A and B are shown apart, each in its own frame.
Chain A
Amino acid sequence: MSKKPHADTRLALYVERRVLELKPKKSQLQIASEAGFPNPNMVTMIKNGTSKLALDRVPSMARALECDPAYLMRLSLEQAVGDTAAQAIAEIYGTPITVNEVGWLAEIRDASSNTDPRLTSRSRAALRTVFGR
């Protein structure tokens, strides 16, 4: 069995990115400590996929990484149980929306004067351009 079973999962890649973004502000050891990991190497292990992020650590890890807990939970759930099972859980318990997504929805409502606009092919094309896809 692979020694890094969780390598390249979206969660591992995201944690790696946040650690890098927070580097000028706090060290990886600080992040591990803030997240409440007794093992200071835990963040490294999550980053390189040796270990997965336990679901009960998501709230403290989100605070330590200064990221959205709903987003981190989505990635952690996907890592813990896989895509299909994560979708089934979301179907039953609901899918939380991140703070950024709430921001997008507020802007859409504001820009459309609350007319609940349809997502047209023109809107899709414009957004694809902005995101370079």
Chain B
Amino acid sequence: MDRVEDLTANERAWLSFLREVSKDADPSPTLRHVQLLRRICALR
């Protein structure tokens, strides 16, 4: 099983923010989410 402790500091920050913004509802990454992530990463 994957654990938060095995992630990088940046990944932990992403995960922590995702939990916060989704009210810890454990959402699955939808196509819309994936497209958004690609846009975010392309802007760097």
Closest Cβ neighbor of A123 among chain B residues = B40
Residues B21 and A70 in contact, CB atoms below 8 Å apart: no
- State which of B4, B14, B39 has its C-beta within 8 Å of the C-beta of A95: B4
Residues B33 and A116 in contact, CB atoms below 8 Å apart: no
Spell out A's residues near B (CB within 8 Å): 10, 68, 70-71, 74, 94-98, 100-105, 107-108, 111-113, 116-119, 122-124, 126-128, 130-131, 133
Interface residues on B, range: 20 to 34
Contacts of B44 in A (CB 8 A): 112, 117
- Tell me which residues from 11 to 27 in chain B have a Cβ below 8 Å from any Cβ of chain A: 11, 13-15, 17-18, 21-22, 24, 26-27
Contacts of B38 in A (CB 8 A): 111
A101-B15, A117-B10 in contact; A108/B21 too (CB < 8 A)? no
Residues B41 and A71 in contact, CB atoms below 8 Å apart: no
- State which of A74, A96, A111 has its C-beta within 8 Å of the C-beta of B41: A111
